[in-house]
Structure 1
Amino acid sequence: MKIKQFFTAGLGLFLLSSCSKSFLELTPQTGVSVANFFISEDDFTKAVTGAYRPLQNLYYDAYVMGEMRSDNTYYLYNTSNRGGQIVEKENINTFTDVATNSYVYNKYINCYDGIAKTNAVLQRIDGASISATTKSNLKGQAEFLRAFYYFELVQYFGGVPLHLKEVSTVAETALPRSSAADVYKQILADATDAAAMLPKTQTVKGQVTQGSAKMLLGYIYMTLKQYPDAERVLKDVTTLGYSLLPDYASVFDPTNKNNAESIFEVQYLQGTQGLQSNFAYQFAPGVTDTKNITGQTGNSQNLGDWNIPTADLIAAYEPGDKRKAASIADSYVNPAGATVAQPFVIKYLHPHAQFNNTNDNWPVYRYADALLLLAECLNEQGKAAEAVPYLNQVRARAGLAATTATAQTDLRTAIAKERRVELAFENHRWLDLVRTGQAIPVMTAYGAKQKAIRPYLTGNVYNVTENRLLFPIPQNELLINKLLTQNPGYL
């Protein structure tokens, strides 16, 4: 990992511009040094806020590994643009990625950037002269974030170096990989502490809460197949005041950020501060003028045509499912005024003021996700009858009839399908396939379909093996840290 990240972490490179405001603000403000920082309550608040900042970089292109690796989305092949970053996205989609892939590197270094920032806080906060209530809240946020970043790493890369204290020398930056089991042990410890320390609600919207930590724990336990523990924490989530919004589309509306269904979302802000999102443009068609699609004029030929919904996903929506129209457009109007029958994602397409500069947050955990994960957890324990009502809550909001599945196998299939359409384009599909043991058979079958209809797919594409369930450790990290080893199947 980059040595610079460890030396600068927690030093106020990204500070809270006004701690009295009601939304988490990540605007860069000023630089500080260790000598005059980590003293006051305000210092620690700013440092914890800084630990959220890598989430924006992490989720800017997280869909490449979370959605495009799966059978949910693909890309439009651009014969006139074969640049490196274009090809690297395509390679992740077709299972031909290598250790020099920049999107894999981005995932890795941004997680460690966040970890370094949380370590700087956690190493000092116990000895800080600040109120016990504030200390508990800030420490809980830092432990949640460290657990979250490590959970991202272990799911995508397996065992990784386990840095649990601030690095102060070059020698301390080089650690060997810990086992996945040891990483999970630390994640569970941090997330459990966070759940005990965090409040149920935060004054500053966007900060994580007790519900965020329990949702993270639910995912960890489900990944480890510790179903009784998962049931316990996910049932706790259902008691914390979350609710499904009546209208599915409103969940993602930027005017409705951090709503009653939101358990954890990454904060973005349109404007000139460098905090904006642009998912709508990456997912929209690549055209010479986006005015007819997004309402703003600009050329997106080298920007769009990513995360395109597959025919396979579109077919998964049942007739009358309200979520489809809120998530996918069947066509678009090109600059010449003609209708083009190409589907694209509109879940994150909302009114905004500038081309390629939007205000949409990214949903990480939602209450609908918690309900479906709990239904899956109960069903895996043979409690199908108890699982069904949680599944049906989500279906009812979508305008669908109650499920007819009752047997465990049928209900397992129904829950997986529901998760696919409910959480489409939110970076869950690939990890769901891996977690449930379906990645190899599902993606092998999907790959065969893709190769049959896309003539540009040649060579060893969609060779989905056990090795490809993890991504490669970035080559840059192997060169910097000689104690690292590569995942099997990658050079």
Structure 2
Amino acid sequence: MKVRILLTAVLALSLSACKKSFIELVPKTVVTEATFFKTANDYTQAVVGSYAPLRSIYGDAYVMGEMRSDNATYFASPGLQGGQFSDKWNISGFLDIAINMNGLNKYANCYVGIARTNAILDRIDQSTIDPAVKANLKGQAQFLRSFYYFELVQYFGGVPLHLKEVNSVAEASLPRSSAADVYKQIIADATSAAGLLPAKQTTIGMVTKGSAKTLLGYVYMTLKRYPEAEAALKDVTTLGYSLVPDYANIFANRNTVESIFEIQYLAGPQGQQNNFAFQFAPNISNVKNILGVSGDNKTTGGWNKPTPDLIAAYETGDTRKAASIAFSYVDGDGNTVNDTYCKKYTHGPYATFNNCGDDWIVYRYADVLLLLAECLNEEGKPGEAIPYLNQVRARAGLLPTTAASQVDLRAAVAKERRVELAFENHRWLDLVRTGQAISVMTAFGVKIKQQEPYLPASAYTNITASRFIFPIPQSEIDINHQLTQNPGY
């Protein structure tokens, strides 16, 4: 924000010596505030631009969402050095500090998205574009702003609450708002978005009423406001979503009937690609026999590695296991290696090394069904919860649950969410939301250090309530002296 302001000031000074007639001209080849935000197409382009930071955020979201949990760890190699590796290791082992590029990536890009949505929301009500188009675009901007803030408050706690476009240095630096105030704004934006957005979009990938209702369901569940969560999640079940019969096909195809909110990627040179398949593939010198294209993956792969604990959580006959985890691979020399890696996002062969176009699903219908089952059970209605749980189990080839009491069903739903949503960045937040983070991760830390001798003795020894959220990036505190650090960092 400050960079943009400074550049504007330099331009103003450089133009002050020019003729008045020149200053008043609007360059015809440059988009400016004087020429933009006029037409429906202008606002559509701005909304599309507000989605773009999601690709950066989710490029490494697995580090804080899965590797922080008992689902995933990493392959350690003595040859790997530098912050891009140690930052991930430290988050996984609860050794992270305020200087961490993964935390900074999430924090900074959320605010990029917020700044873009603020620019839209500051202007769109006064625009003269078609009312129906305006409502749709406004709803998308509100959803995105609420989603970015939900990411921030879950991972960092209370953060500065920017709700207007920044036009001065003073406006760029705000103190932290309370988490309660951030949640209040999230609910306001998501509620408005749900009322404005259609059930289906003509442009694939744009968020819908179902996206907003699912976001609200998650927010209310996080706040333990179960009746409101139930209403929002039950609304989603009326909007035409359904389970894809074959679990593996959810991820092998894009924007299926199960997808509620999906981040769109595109392979190629346009800068819209990802490299999930390569990050999660084994750490080997040539991945051609795994991903179809030659390339040294020793500085790219080995992340989000399934833990023995996760593997043991799958029941016999669960079709999700083979769709999510590979148990062997053929290396570059043609040798079969018995080892595991996350295969859920591998849909090659790929044309270019480290360049994929597979989407990332943020919300899907099975997620909603399980969250609704959790909600109903917490309301003391396990009988109503069980059918939603069993829908998901049936698709996985499993028999109905035998859990009947509230306590047993709570454990059954938590386990089902773990295996159904494995590697989808839900596990850490689920543990925190349900109050299991300390007990589960403490026990897991003892086991994983016995199984993986490369882990330092200090790993998993600082699992306390202060670690439920991450540190505010130090670089942000350095430029905004009104920011304070989270306790424990």
Correspondence 1:122-271 to 2 at 5 A: 122-253=121-252, 256-271=253-268
Give 1:441 deviation, angstroms.
0.6
- Residue 93 of structure 2: aligned partner: 94
CA distance in 2, matches of 1:257, 1:326: 16
The TM-score, its normalising length taken from structure 1, stands at: 0.93
CA contact (8 A) 1:7 1:167 kept: no
Give 1:33 deviation, angstroms.
1.6
Q: Secondary structure at the match of 2:423?
A: coil
Residue number among 425, 437, 450 corresponding to 2:448 in the alignment: 450
CA distance in 2, matches of 1:413, 1:459: 30
- Residue 390 of structure 2: aligned partner: 392
CA distance in 2, matches of 1:446, 1:31: 55
CA distance in 1, matches of 2:133, 2:6: 26
CA distance in 2, matches of 1:5, 1:374: 44
CA distance in 2, matches of 1:87, 1:130: 50
Deviation per residue, 1:447-466 (Å, 9 max, x gap): 11122232332242212011
CA contact (8 A) 1:6 1:166 kept: no
Give 1:7 deviation, angstroms.
8.9
Give 1:5 deviation, angstroms.
6.8
Query: Is 1:305 matched up with 2:305?
Result: no
Residue number among 279, 282, 285 corresponding to 1:285 in the alignment: 282
Larger Rg: 2
- Residue 16 of structure 2: aligned partner: none
Percent of aligned positions with the same letter in both sequences?
65
Distance 1:214 1:31, change over 3 A: farther
Query: Is 1:350 matched up with 2:383?
Result: no
- Residue 37 of structure 2: aligned partner: 38
Deviation per residue, 1:377-434 (Å, 9 max, x gap): 0000110010000000000000000000000010000000000000000000000000
CA distance in 1, matches of 2:241, 2:375: 19
Give 1:35 deviation, angstroms.
1.5
CA contact (8 A) 1:47 1:121 kept: yes
- Residue 432 of structure 2: aligned partner: 434
Residue 458 of structure 2 aligns with an amino acid whose one-letter code is N
CA distance in 2, matches of 1:271, 1:325: 29
Give 1:479 deviation, angstroms.
0.5
Can you give the 5+ residue segments of structure 1 that lack an aligned partner in the other structure?
9-29
Q: Secondary structure at the match of 1:206?
A: coil
Q: Secondary structure at the match of 1:363?
A: strand
Give 1:4 deviation, angstroms.
3.6
CA distance in 2, matches of 1:6, 1:194: 30
- Residue 25 of structure 1: aligned partner: none
Give 1:259 deviation, angstroms.
1.1
RMSD: 1.2
CA contact (8 A) 2:230 2:375 kept: yes
Distance 1:31 1:7, change over 3 A: farther
- Residue 314 of structure 1: aligned partner: 311
Task: Tell me whether 445-454 or 239-248 shows the greater mean CA deviation.
Answer: 445-454
Residue 58 of structure 2 aligns with an amino acid whose one-letter code is Y
CA distance in 2, matches of 1:65, 1:387: 29
Deviation per residue, 1:311-349 (Å, 9 max, x gap): 000011111111111111001111121111110011110
Distance 1:233 1:88, change over 3 A: same
- Residue 413 of structure 2: aligned partner: 415
- Residue 479 of structure 1: aligned partner: 478
Task: Tell me whether 434-443 or 344-353 shows the greater mean CA deviation.
Answer: 344-353
CA distance in 1, matches of 2:485, 2:357: 38
CA contact (8 A) 2:5 2:168 kept: no
Give 1:81 deviation, angstroms.
1.2
- Residue 14 of structure 1: aligned partner: none
CA contact (8 A) 2:382 2:404 kept: yes
CA contact (8 A) 1:115 1:146 kept: yes
Task: Tell me whether 73-82 or 188-197 shows the greater mean CA deviation.
Answer: 73-82
Residue 124 of structure 2 aligns with an amino acid whose one-letter code is I
Task: Tell me whether 143-152 or 334-343 shows the greater mean CA deviation.
Answer: 334-343
CA distance in 2, matches of 1:456, 1:227: 42
Residue number among 316, 324, 330 corresponding to 1:333 in the alignment: 330
- Residue 49 of structure 1: aligned partner: 48
CA contact (8 A) 1:309 1:344 kept: yes
- Residue 360 of structure 1: aligned partner: 358
Residue 200 of structure 1 aligns with an amino acid whose one-letter code is A
Deviation per residue, 1:153-195 (Å, 9 max, x gap): 0000000000000001111100000000000000000000000
CA distance in 1, matches of 2:422, 2:453: 27
Give 1:55 deviation, angstroms.
0.2
CA distance in 1, matches of 2:4, 2:95: 29
Q: Secondary structure at the match of 1:36?
A: coil
Residue 191 of structure 2 aligns with an amino acid whose one-letter code is T
- Residue 26 of structure 1: aligned partner: none
Deviation per residue, 1:353-379 (Å, 9 max, x gap): 221111110010000000000000000
Residue 275 of structure 2 aligns with an amino acid whose one-letter code is N
Q: Secondary structure at the match of 2:34?
A: helix
The TM-score, its normalising length taken from structure 2, stands at: 0.94
